[in-house]
Amino acid sequence: MKEQKVIIVGGGAAGFFAAIRCKQLNPNLDVHILERGKQVLQKVKVSGGGRCNVTHACYIPKDLVKFYPRGQKELLGPFHRFCSGDMLNWLDQQGVETKVEDDGRIFPASNSSQTIIDCFWKNVKQLGIQVHTGQQVAAIRAPSGEQAQYQVITAAGKKWLADKLLMATGSNPRIWKLLGGLGHAIIEPVPSLFTFNIKDSRIQNLAGLSVPNAKIQVVGRKKLVAQGPLLITHWGMSGPGILRLSAWGARTLNEANYEFKVLVNWNASLTFDKAQAELRNFKQLNPKQQIAKHRKFDLPNRLWQSLVAACNIPDNLIWAEMNKKQLNALAIQLTQATFEVKGKSTFKEEFVTAGGVKLKEIDFTRFESKLHPNLFMAGEVLNIDAITGGFNFQAAWTGAYLAAEAIASEK
């Protein structure tokens, strides 16, 4: 039987995992990875602050898909075939120990992304997979007429021939343009995970302070609401709660040119009415206590003092002297403080986009193009993205795994 040549464009998480799985399933395949840069697995290296957040401890497909603003419906079937628990089993078989943190994120026990990189490289070398760096793809030609193979042509003029072609290039405008040239519709990419730029006296000089469970809502958009840890930064607000909101609101906030208002509830368990009642209770029980000097609702001291000051409550005012107007103002600052966002910042090095190849054009049982047989796609080249927490990697693992199964099983 003629040896099948497989070209995988993209030396990242999806590309390496797919290559390894292809060779594990079919050792006779001739598998090559083409990477445009000088280094491979760069996103794996920097993810999770250099620890590599490989996946998340959500093992039920119908629950897992809820973390994907784009791709939720399409990933349900694939997750039933290869989910987060399956990825952990695969890593365990490779001798990679993992650990689950309190928030559900899963990392290698070594706390180093190098563990995952070493695992991939070990497999690549043992399986005889060829990795070629400095291979910027300039053109892709689908099989036509007497030309039975895909042609992948680099900027340097080198021509690669492939019986099966997998695109695992992540968010790459040049590749999207090439796929568009093959007839695929491309959903315009916009940033998905980003932090909010906010200049406001209430959070000025509070960088580094965080609350464990805030609720954040875009003003005028009832459905754009998220909750989780919120971190005050030098440029505004970040943390999982903000990032979740940025993912779900990626397109809406882009259309607003990243200028909008948010309501912040610093303790998601509080409502305005409950805050009012609690404040009245504090007033009754601690009439001689200075308001600013004794924090409430488990808020950081400096944040509590800042919110109190925003209500024009003097530092030395005691609870007995607080009037109704001040009490209501403090309840508002606690549960529905309005902040004006003007701009965004990239979340660390973990740049994720909403956009890519239109999902209706992909057969998700095989992660194969419906327009071109033997053209496969996995990872962020597709219009799939998730909130932070290991979910984007899991989508990449799943797509790569199923694409590799399809590639390896065919004659």
Q: 37-59 burial string, b = 16+ CB within 10 Å, else e?
A: eeebbbbbbebbeebbbbbbbbe
CATH superfamily of this structure's domain 5-191+351-409: FAD/NAD(P)-binding domain (3.50.50.60)
Residue 36 pLDDT class (50, 70, 90 cuts): very high
Task: Average the pLDDT over 197-220 and give the result.
Answer: 97
Query: In the predicted model, is pLDDT for residue 347 greater than 70?
Result: no
Query: In the predicted model, is pLDDT for residue 410 greater than 90?
Result: no
| Ranges of each domain in the chain | 5-191+351-409, 194-346
Tens of pLDDT, residue by residue over 1-30, are: 568 999 999 999 999 999 999 999 999 999
Predicted pLDDT at 348: 60
Give residue 252's identity as a one-letter amino acid code.
T
Predicted pLDDT at 85: 98
In the chain, pLDDT over 70 holds for what percent of residues?
98
Q: What is the C-alpha to C-alpha distance for residues 314 and 310, in angstroms, rounded to an integer?
A: 10
In the chain, pLDDT over 90 holds for what percent of residues?
95
**Whether the Cβ atoms of residue 6 and residue 164 lie closer than 8 Å to each other:** yes
Residue 352 pLDDT class (50, 70, 90 cuts): confident
Q: What is the C-alpha to C-alpha distance for residues 46 and 170, in angstroms, rounded to an integer?
A: 15
Predicted pLDDT at 169: 97
Rounded to whole angstroms, the maximal C-alpha distance in the chain is 91
Predicted pLDDT at 411: 57
Predicted pLDDT at 268: 97
Query: In the predicted model, is pLDDT for residue 351 greater than 80?
Result: no
Lowest mean pLDDT among 42-46, 244-248, 345-349, 355-359: 345-349
Tens of pLDDT, residue by residue over 238-253, are: 999 999 999 999 999 9
Query: In the predicted model, is pLDDT for residue 146 greater than 80?
Result: yes
Tens of pLDDT, residue by residue over 62-120, are: 999 999 999 999 999 999 999 999 999 999 999 999 999 999 999 999 999 999 999 99
Predicted pLDDT at 349: 54
Q: What is the C-alpha to C-alpha distance for residues 75 and 32, in angstroms, rounded to an integer?
A: 27
Tokens of 318: 């005691």
Query: In the predicted model, is pLDDT for residue 364 greater than 60?
Result: yes
Mean pLDDT score of the chain, rounded to an integer?
Answer: 96
Predicted pLDDT at 3: 80
Please state the pTM of the whole predicted model: 0.91
Query: In the predicted model, is pLDDT for residue 282 greater than 60?
Result: yes
